[in-house]
Amino acid sequence: MWKKILLVTLLLATVLSFAKTPKDTLVIAANTEIFITLDPAVCYETFAAAVVTSAYSGLTKIEPVNGVLTPVPDLAEKWEVVQEGDVTVWTFYLRKGLVFANGDPLTAEDVVFSFKRVLTINKSPAWLFNELGLTKENMDQTIIAKDPLTVVLKTKPLARNIVLSIIAPPWGGVVNKKVVLANQVNNDLGEAYLTDKSEGAGPFIIVEWKRKEQVIMQSNPKYWAGEPPLKKIIIKDVPEETTQFLLVQKGDVDIAWNITTEQAAQLRETKGGNIRLVTTPEQSNEYVAMNCGWGPFKDEKVRLAIKYAIDYDAIINSVMRGFAILNQNFMPIGYFGYIELNPFKRDVQKAKQLLTEAGYPNGFEVEIITSTTDIRRNEAIIVQSNLADIGIKANIVQMPSSEMYAKYRQQGHQMIIAGWGIDYPDPDALAKPFANYRVKQLAWRNMWYDDHAADLAEKAGVELNDEKRAQMYKELQEYWITRSAFAMLYQPVGFWAVSNDVVGFERAVEGYTLTFDFTKISKK
């Protein structure tokens, strides 16, 4: 009996053979659970946006130029800008002979349809178009196809970088009007149809998304800039980080997308294997925010005390294992107008003194809410112990993101640990949420109703002179850093376990979480 079982096991073992990944195919193990849709008018999640960006080209695209993320020409080869009163008129000239992946010609009509589609569907990305002054109500007057090769946009007067960045993919991705309309159901403008396949003109085509199994993309031979080196990309759904790490070590996948900080640290130590660690500063930040409408946090000195109490180094080194950069500014390092400001270092005496001056010599009790990830829990624990040192008793409440955002958006929290992903590579994308309460974003959620900061953020957003604009952001950052509701913990560093057969991943990932360029990747 036992001999038979052993024989069957051995037979099974010998008949099974595992294919290694082919040379023209990139296989990624990733948790695709966060994917909601691959429709450019709806998609808003970081990794899914990278997939969408690879399948849809826009008038512009975001590209790192000398380390700075910059909007550069894509489907539009050039543009002109004219100021007409309080309206800015943008004229974009499309390249000649553009076609979609299916061979249909791409015209200004498709661009106009795609932009109007974002506004009509009115989901997550729509507010960004609204920021430009393009709305569902005025779109027929503001988004116009002048002729088959010319698109005209009429926007609010804004710094050029803002407009050119927001109209880039994913949400500015151009869809094939004819095919999308032919496949719409109940006048949904093809929203259901484009959920799991693509009809664009990008370097890749999304062939299939089998939920909780895999996303398959293949190269687009008709891409205007030439077919990319990779012929096929498979994103295999592997929700567990440890399993992802085993798969990449074994060589069954080329990239493990979601490894843990512990695994990344392990990889950093053991150089020279068949996989390498790739890192890049992320276009996001992590912060502690205090609700200025709640009790002690109404007092600026209390908020300052908290900023001095936090041990930033401990969070970066023990929670993030060094995969984070100290940056107490709301802007990421290297952005237009960025100035290095890291004035806060853990100083318990100073924090206690500030609390005493504010009338809280014995501290107080506060609730910290955060989401349910391990990183957030560990950050909260460190902040809790830091606050205990200055007499503040902090109670940590972890909750699912659905519950946390409900509370946060209703200004119902006292203190929160959260993060912010940047929507477009311009200081405006950060100054507005963090400093201008009038846009009802983070400053508003934390009831930091500061008119001076709001005015500065607003003026800098519409200033066309770069020198003046940079000066305004400098003033805003210096004003904001000590007075605001936020203690910025760090700028995260993204990390991936990548097979040594993969070439160019370091360049592809530059600018993540805002952009990701699969065309820069090839295999040995």
Partner 1 sequence: MKLGSFIIRRLFLMLLVLFGVSVLVFVIAKVIPADPVGAILGGNAPIDLVEDMKRRLGLDKPLMNQFIDYMSGILRGDLGTSLKSNRPVAKDIANFFPATLELSICATFLSVVIGIFLGILSAVYRNKFIDHFARVFSILGVSMPVFWTGLLLLLLFYFRLGWLPGTGRLGLFVTPPTRYTGLYLLDSLLSLNFEAFKDALAHLVLPSIVLGYSAAASIARITRSSMLDVLRQDFIRTAKAKGIGKRLVIYRHALRNALIPVVTIIGLTFGGLLEGAVLTETIFGWPGLGRYIVNSLLLLDYPAIMGGTLFVAVIYSLVNLIVDIIYAALDPRMRI
Dihedral Cα 234, 240, 243, 249, nearest 10 deg = 60
Q: How far is it between the farthest Cα atoms of the chain? A: 90
45 binds partner 1 (CB under 8 A): yes
Angle at 410 between CA 409 and CA 412, to 5 degrees: 110
Size of the residue set binding partner 1 (CB under 8 A) = 62
State which of residues 83, 127, 226, 340 lies at the interface with partner 1 (CB under 8 A).
127
403 binds partner 1 (CB under 8 A): yes
DSSP conformation letters of 165-189: HHTSTTTTPPP-HHHHHHT-STT-T
State which of residues 187, 270, 362, 402 lies at the interface with partner 1 (CB under 8 A).
402
Quote the crossing angle between the two packed helices 374-389 and 300-309, to the nearest 10°: 110
184 binds partner 1 (CB under 8 A): no
405 binds partner 1 (CB under 8 A): yes
With contact defined as beta carbons under 8 Å apart, do 252 and 481 qualify?
A: no
123 binds partner 1 (CB under 8 A): yes
Stretch that binds partner 1, among 270-278, 361-369, 396-404, 450-458 (CB under 8 A): 396-404
Judged by CB, which is closer to partner 1: 241, or 463?
A: 241
273 binds partner 1 (CB under 8 A): no
238 binds partner 1 (CB under 8 A): yes
Judged by CB, which is closer to partner 1: 362, or 402?
A: 402
**Which of these, 110, 145, 149, 112, lies nearest to 129 by C-alpha position?**
112
* φ, ψ of residue 262 in degrees (nearest 5): -65, -45
203 CB-near residues (< 8 Å, 6+ apart): 54, 57, 219, 220, 223, 225, 227, 228, 518, 519
246 binds partner 1 (CB under 8 A): yes
Instruction: State the minimum distance, in angstroms, from the CB of residue 432 to partner 1.
Output: 10
**Which of these, 321, 432, 421, 441, lies nearest to 378 by C-alpha position?**
321
Strands (DSSP E) found in 451-518: 486-499, 502-503
Instruction: State the minimum distance, in angstroms, from the CB of residue 402 to partner 1.
Output: 4
State which of residues 148, 293, 322, 419 lies at the interface with partner 1 (CB under 8 A).
419
Stretch that binds partner 1, among 295-303, 356-364, 397-405, 455-463 (CB under 8 A): 397-405
48 binds partner 1 (CB under 8 A): no
**Which of these, 458, 457, 437, 440, lies nearest to 449 by C-alpha position?**
437
Instruction: State the minimum distance, in angstroms, from the CB of residue 226 to partner 1.
Output: 27
State which of residues 24, 33, 140, 313 lies at the interface with partner 1 (CB under 8 A).
33
**What's the rounded Cα separation, in Å, for the pair 214 and 208?**
8
Contacts to partner 1 by CB under 8 A: 9, 12-13, 15-16, 18-19, 21-22, 27, 29, 33, 36-37, 44-45, 122-124, 126-127, 191-192, 195, 210-214, 234, 236-240, 242-243, 246-247, 249-250, 252, 372, 399-403, 405-409, 418-421, 423, 433, 439-441
